[in-house]
Amino acid sequence: MSIKIEVFSDYVCPYCLLIEGVLAEATQGLNVDIQWLPFELRTAPTPTLRPEDDYLPWVWKKSVYPLAQRLGVPIQLPSISPQPYSRLAHEGFQFAEAHGKASAYNDRVFRAFFQEDQDIGSLSVLGTLVDEIGLDKFQFLTSLDDGKYADRHEALLERAKDLGVQSVPRLYVDGQLIQLAFDPQTLCRYLMEKYQDASIKQANA
């Protein structure tokens, strides 16, 4: 038996990079199926945030940097202004997932933006990133240019809307929304209890 964990996230959300490591540590040794699902915090033509304005530096100083330091994750406020739209990166994830590289793609895109200050809204940047993780760059770029994964992306966004997702990261464990905890031990204990409860129910069925 495995536990299904669905994670709605956006590549321009620093907390989504931070929860990635928490999840990896909390689920180590557990039989889990982690599925990353898209959510765009800002869709075109809604303007995206600018790092030179007051809001982002304030949030990062008060919340992001302290949390990242506690978790031991290197991170920096990207200088790209305005921040990129994430739609192409999300459609690119669908390509990576279809070719067995979902986890590697997720990690690479997050780190490119929040640790290397790369513009993940750029198709050429995304092409370089997928090449680095061993995917076919030409096939990737062709798929995105043709909109091969656009319909699936839209369907997943509709699912997020139906669930009432308004901020990320947002986690569902076996379909149940859980209170987000940026603590691997707390999350691991919750998952262990969930697994034990499911095992008992299965044994009594």
Higher pLDDT, 193 or 104: 104
How confident is the model at residue 179, as a pLDDT? 81
How confident is the model at residue 110, as a pLDDT? 98
Distance of alpha carbon 135 from alpha carbon 131, whole angstroms: 5
Residue type for position 52? E
Residue in 31, 44, 51, 38 with CA at minimum distance from that of residue 92: 38
Asked if residue 5 lies in contact with residue 172, where contact means CB atoms within 8 angstroms, the answer is: yes
Distance of alpha carbon 102 from alpha carbon 94, whole angstroms: 8
| Residue 70 confidence (pLDDT) above 80 | yes
Residue type for position 121? G
Q: Interior CA angle at 86 toward 82 and 92, to 5°?
A: 145
Kindly report each contact of residues 47-55 with a partner whose C-beta sits within 8 Å and lies 24 or more positions away, as own/partner.
47/82, 48/12, 48/82, 48/83, 48/84, 48/85, 49/82, 49/83, 50/81, 50/82, 50/83, 51/77, 51/78, 51/79, 51/80, 51/81, 51/83, 52/81
Which tokens belong to 182? 């940026």
Could you give the domains of the chain? Answer: 3-204 (3.40.30.10)
How confident is the model at residue 204, as a pLDDT? 65
Length of the chain measured in residues: 205
Q: Sheet of 32-38: strands edge to edge?
A: 32-38, 3-9, 170-173, 176-177
How confident is the model at residue 205, as a pLDDT? 62
How confident is the model at residue 30, as a pLDDT? 85
pLDDT, averaged across the chain: 93
pLDDT, one tens digit per residue, over 90-103 is 999 999 999 999 99
| Residue 29 confidence (pLDDT) above 90 | no
How confident is the model at residue 192, as a pLDDT? 84
Residue with tokens 């978790």: 71
How confident is the model at residue 16, as a pLDDT? 97
pLDDT, one tens digit per residue, over 123-166 is 999 999 999 999 999 999 999 999 999 999 999 999 999 999 99
Beta bridge partners of 33: 4
pLDDT, one tens digit per residue, over 160-195 is 999 999 999 999 999 999 887 799 999 988 888 877
CA atoms 106, 109, 110, 116: torsion sign? positive
